[in-house]
Structure 1
């Protein structure tokens, strides 16, 4: 059976009340679409019979309009193939209609909460997210087992269409929830039922959901200073009052949080690999934080964004695994363990919160796409995930050591800190008067991706420096990147 191919041109309007002939209206409509860039050079038009049927005109009318455009060189006919936009139109700058003048007085009225949040948002200038020195938050994409992923993808895309294309479970695919629960028990010491696991569109959505569920406007949230920008903005959007709690070599300073806001409602922490300072929250601080939350009837969001990639000595237990009073909401993401474009994350709710969270997911969320969840579930169940994690731990340890080996040349100017997990660390300037902003700008101009520590701060801190990513860079990138930093320091003096 011959299929109806070609662009859909339903935007063309035929007005039979006009004196202008219908064939002329169709001709002008097609011409305007081509000249405005709506159809590209080489793109196929539908057959005149199909075009006439879809627009409700006679085939003779469609033939007249198309023939005129062929004679003008905007279309070309190929025997046995059809009618196409002329290749002479390829690369032409489309004719753009004049933009309407924006009336500032007619700008949309935003809610007071949104206006307040916009004024408080941390800078979200998008950093280059490509594999180079010294980009952060990007895993080593070149090391991902794409062949295995493609095989699993093909399997699921050939499966039942209702499963692939229909609405999924708003809580997440049951097989994936069970696989996540099993993985967390084995690798992170977290004992939870699959019903406590909720699959979300990335960790950022999890933070927004938790904030919307638990926080009223003005309620206090302990937040690491410096801390994760995305989570900070999510809680600001919920109307929270963020309390900047400093971070030292043992992690978040619980005593400082109690002194500033003993009545806190929520605490946000990255205990396995502090974002961005790379510290690990000590066991004594973990216990103190759990005790503080219990006494304040508060909750803790544990963001374990790259805890699977711990390559130090014996890792400390997660907060969730030692929480005996149901205070910790654990958030994980596949953006770091697999790849970011999946947009898949998960949260593990305390047992006491499952019923309320299930109601919210059922009423307000449609869930994330089912087929990527099915692929991830198989990737975990067939053992590929565990193998990938082991491989990447070794990879990131090697990159970390390589970074430090080449960082010796900049030690008079910057002290690069050792990390024990993940794929970023920080470098502190030895000159306290050096400007983070100026140095980052110069490094970026030289082809490096750096970000100042101050970008992550709610309140100023004493030490200045930059965040350095090493996971996505190859050996040559790291070596050349350190050479560039050495030249920048030498030039600046």
Structure 2
């Protein structure tokens, strides 16, 4: 007895102008019909020759698509009978089962407890512009980077033995880079350490997450500068830490405020060399008070030295780690500012008492940073190019800082731009007649990037302001940007 030809599938449309293969289009169309209930379990598909004629494709194309459906168990081939919709799909069509609309609805996944509670508390992280604009924050002078030297080092690296170039890297970091960083910290930041204390990470934020996972239980208090660094803030929140906003003044983190709010803190996060974003340098008195508070609470301190290489004064701002005699400070650095952000390269300097723990956690579940990135950076440092680049950038950033302060004098009385002694951003404090939201929205629409000071805060700040990055823009662009702000401020009066 001859079998019937099978269900009509002439509704399937093939776009022969598409870059997607015809067999893939046919497979996806049939698969969608099967999963959506357009074909019933046990129903026979037309013969491959018949389907090819109806859809307007070759029989080979149909065979390829049907074979893929068979391999997924969506259809069954019966010798001498044909190809049928799998009986396994009956579960979708039982009486009383979900409606077709519900079947097609995208399921809402259940988030973990940590994710549900962390997501509302994350600080907003607007993606930085791809181009250098006034006044983009956290973006170095990409136009001044010695790309020719970097390209030469890259080419040399890729000519090395393949096992070294393409194999798995060390989970702790490329040994020559760890050694180069230890030498650099000793020479330029006054920190004595061994290469074995240096752990290479995929950017400073991964370092913060690693530290928090290692030291902080969900709900434990962590002192955090208010305002403070957004990336670090989100990293600690994601691991369930209870961030306690601590006031910041011109001497840095207010230790007395921390002791009042959470005397038994587990961890403290600070940016003592150049407070993020206010730019203050923590006084020696505050540093000693913070170290004493950590001793009394048996707590640790995370020091984020995100742009400590770039100072304009006679002496570089000291690091907290350099006066740490009890091994309580975990020092975190990054190459995103000193070289360029897309490297995604940072490091953690672990106190000696935590080296074994870092060794264990890194070898257990960190895959490591690409060896190529680390090897090129190590050569860049060992051959003196890093030191030369830093010296040039200090001078360049000072020129751009001075251009900003000079140009911003026309905003006096409305926006008071604060001079800084290091880094490549400054804060403009707003007069009561101006609001952050208004100014940020108006400048963005005019092609100038400003960031509200409140974006960096866990708790509402007494003073409103904007953060102005000047590292990625030459003086003439800085002056143009200030003129835009001046015209907007003038219209608001």
Q: Please state which band the TM-score falls in when normalised by the shorter chain.
A: 0.7 to 0.9
1:284 deviation in Å?
Answer: 1.1
2:332 corresponds in structure 1 to 331
2:434 is equivalent to residue 434 of structure 1: yes
**Counterpart in 2 of 1:145?**
146
Q: In 1, Cα distance between the equivalents of 2:371 and 2:303?
A: 26
User: Aligned-pair distance for 1:129?
Assistant: 4.4
Please provide the CA RMSD for this pair.
2.3
1:284 and 1:29 map into 2 onto residues whose CA distance is 79
CA separation of 1:141 and 1:102: change in aligned 2, threshold 3 A: farther
Once the two structures are superposed, the pairs formed by residues 227-238 of structure 1 within 5 Å of their partners are 227-238=228-239
1:318 paired residue number: 319
Check the 8 A contact 1:251/1:279 in 2, yes or no: yes
Moved over 6 A (4+): 7-11, 28-31, 99-102
When normalised by structure 2's length, the TM-score is 0.81
1:258-337 map, 5 Å? 258-337=259-338
Separation (CA, whole Å) in 2 of partners of 1:29 and 1:394: 68
Query: Quick check: 2:308–2:317 contact (8 Å CA) kept in 1?
Result: no
1:491 aligns with 2:491: yes
Partner of 1:24: 58
| Aligned residue in 2 for 1:423 | 424
| CA separation of 1:413 and 1:11: change in aligned 2, threshold 3 A | farther
| Residue matched to 1:135 | 136
1:244 alignment partner in structure 2? 245
Report matched runs for 1:92-131 at 5 Å: 103=105, 106-131=107-132
Contact 1:127 1:449 in 2 (8 A): no
Give the distance between the partners of 2:333 and 2:344, measured in 1 at CA.
Answer: 12
Over 3 Å counting, the alpha-carbon distance change for 1:362 and 1:434 in structure 2 is same
TM-score between both structures, scaled by the size of structure 1: 0.81
- Aligned partners of 2:218 and 2:241 also within 8 Å: yes
Q: In structure 2, the residue corresponding to 1:309 is in which secondary structure?
A: coil
Q: CA deviation at 1:128?
A: 2.2
Q: Could you tell me which residue of structure 1 aligns to residue 84 of structure 2?
A: none
Identify the residue that residue 451 of structure 1 maps to in structure 2: 451
* Distance of 1:295 and 1:113 partners within structure 2: 29
In the TM superposition, 1:379-394 aligns within 5 A as 379-394=380-395
Displacement of 1:100: 11
> Per-residue deviation at 1:236?
0.8
Equivalence for 1:464? 464
Distance in 1 of aligned mates of 2:214 and 2:63: 50
**1:11 CA drift (Å):** 7.8
From the superposition, tell whether residues 362 and 392 of structure 1 become closer, same or farther in structure 2 (CA, over 3 Å): same
Distance 1:492 1:164, change over 3 A: same
Closer, same or farther: CA 261–410 of 1 in aligned 2, 3 Å: same
Distance 1:28 1:158, change over 3 A: farther
Provide the aligned length of Structure 1 versus Structure 2: 417
**Structure-1 separation of matches of 2:176 and 2:22:** 42
**Are 2:473 and 1:473 aligned?**
yes
Q: 1:10: Cα distance to partner?
A: 12
**CA-CA distance at 1:122 after TM superposition:** 1.3
Instruction: Tell me by how many angstroms 1:162 deviates.
Output: 1.2
Give the Å deviation of 1:130: 2.4
SS in 2 for 1:294: helix
Q: Does the 8 Å CA contact 2:226/2:246 hold for their aligned counterparts?
A: yes
CA distance in 2, matches of 1:437, 1:11: 53
Render the CA deviation track for 1:286-326: whole Å, top value 9, x for unaligned.
11111111111111110000001111232232111110001
1:444-493 CA-partner distances (Å, limit 9, x unpaired): 00001101000111001111110000010012210100100110011011
Task: Return the alpha-carbon distance in structure 2 between the equivalents of residues 8 and 127 of structure 1.
Answer: 34
Cα displacement (A) at 1:8: 11
Structure 2 residue matching 1:130: 3-state secondary structure: coil
Task: List runs of 5+ in structure 1 lacking aligned partners.
Answer: 1-6, 32-98
Residue 407 (structure 1) aligned with residue 435 (structure 2): no
1:223 aligns with 2:224: yes
Aligned partners of 1:19 and 1:131: how far apart in 2?
Answer: 60
Partner of 1:179: 180
After superposition, the Cα gap between the structure-2 partners of 1:491 and 1:30, relative to the gap in structure 1 and judged at 3 Å, is: farther
Give the alignment of 1:330-409 within 5 angstroms.
330-409=331-410
Q: Secondary structure at the match of 2:337?
A: helix
Q: What are structure 2's unaligned runs of at least 5 residues?
A: 1-18, 31-44, 66-100
Quote the Cα distance in structure 2 between the aligned partners of 1:261 and 1:142.
45
Q: 8 Å contact 2:23–2:64 — kept in the other structure?
A: no
2: CA distance, partners of 1:160 / 1:458: 50
* CA shift in 2, pair 1:26/1:470, >3 Å: farther
Equivalent residues of 1:443, 1:449 under 8 A apart: yes
Separation of aligned partners in 2, 1:323 and 1:414: 38
Over 3 Å counting, the alpha-carbon distance change for 1:450 and 1:28 in structure 2 is: farther
